[in-house]
Amino acid sequence: MELSFKGMTALVTGAAGGIGRATVGVLAGQGSRVWALDRVGLEQEGVEVLTGDLRGGVLLEEAIARAGRVDVAVLNAGICRPAELEQTTAANWDETIAVNLSAVFHHLQRLAGVMKKQRGGSIVITASTNSFDGEAGLIAYNASKAGLLGIVHTAANELGPYGVRVNAVCPGLIETPLTREAFDRPEVIQPYFAALPLGRGGQPEEVARAIAFLASDWASYVTGATLFVDGGQMAAKFGTWTEEKAEFAGGRWRLKPEP
């Protein structure tokens, strides 16, 4: 069986960003009609674009009304506003929870009705490695991403009987506009990547392909799952790379040639 979305309709939120844009590309490339939702516009041939704020659900309603059916929904929009615990303002907390967690809940609730009626569908939510472990300075973000796991697990239970699958992809550090600043600072990424078995950051397409897998019929027996796309980050305990055996160049670790 070929991985294909031919004849399907997919909806992607956060579609103008790094991971969202790559996901739109992969789904459209595999034959899906794609509805791209973001507050920032994008131009992609053969893709229907809806621009505006996702909060409030107006954009989703418009996409559902115009698309007619939704076979695949990728709930991917997210924001990250770093601040230490005591410096995190109520506004920061509220906005982060509203976009990353509450909007996903409201979208999922609406899509559940649509997909139950269709007796089928697949939803992929972009969570994070930060859904599982701590990272200082990101309390609102981490709480929002941890909350998504509760959503995924519960929705998988409720929607499974209707043939609707709900899964999460959990990216590690991926090179997108969200993380541009980190990637531009070798003093940040060199020690970060030294802890990763694959010794480098990820590219948006590498997450998009995992999303496409979870969304597709190739994952027909997968629901309630969390798939790490993190270069091995969550499998690593003591770090991987040392300067004795490897060198950091071009933004990644590589083994030195054998003597």
Which residues in this chain contact ligand NAD in the complex, by CB under 6 A? 14, 16-20, 38-40, 53-55, 76-80, 99, 126, 128, 171, 173-174, 176-179
**Pick from 162, 66, 54, 59: nearest CA to 115:** 162
Distance in Å, CB of 52 to ligand NAD, minimum: 7
| Catalytic (active site) residue 221 | no
Whichever of 4 and 89 has its CB closer to ligand NAD, that residue is 89
Whichever of 71 and 230 has its CB closer to ligand NAD, that residue is 230
Please give the residue whose beta carbon sits closest to ligand NAD in the complex.
17
Distance in Å, CB of 31 to ligand NAD, minimum: 23
- CA–CA–CA angle 44, 48, 54 (5° rounding): 105
**Pick from 100, 98, 60, 59: nearest CA to 79:** 100
Whichever of 163 and 198 has its CB closer to ligand NAD, that residue is 198
Q: How far apart are the C-alpha atoms of 27 and 31, rounded to whole Å?
A: 7
Q: How far apart are the C-alpha atoms of 124 and 120, rounded to whole Å?
A: 14
Distance in Å, CB of 258 to ligand NAD, minimum: 33
- CA–CA–CA angle 221, 125, 79 (5° rounding): 165
SS3 47: strand
Distance in Å, CB of 154 to ligand NAD, minimum: 19
Whichever of 9 and 100 has its CB closer to ligand NAD, that residue is 100
- Please list the active-site residues: 141
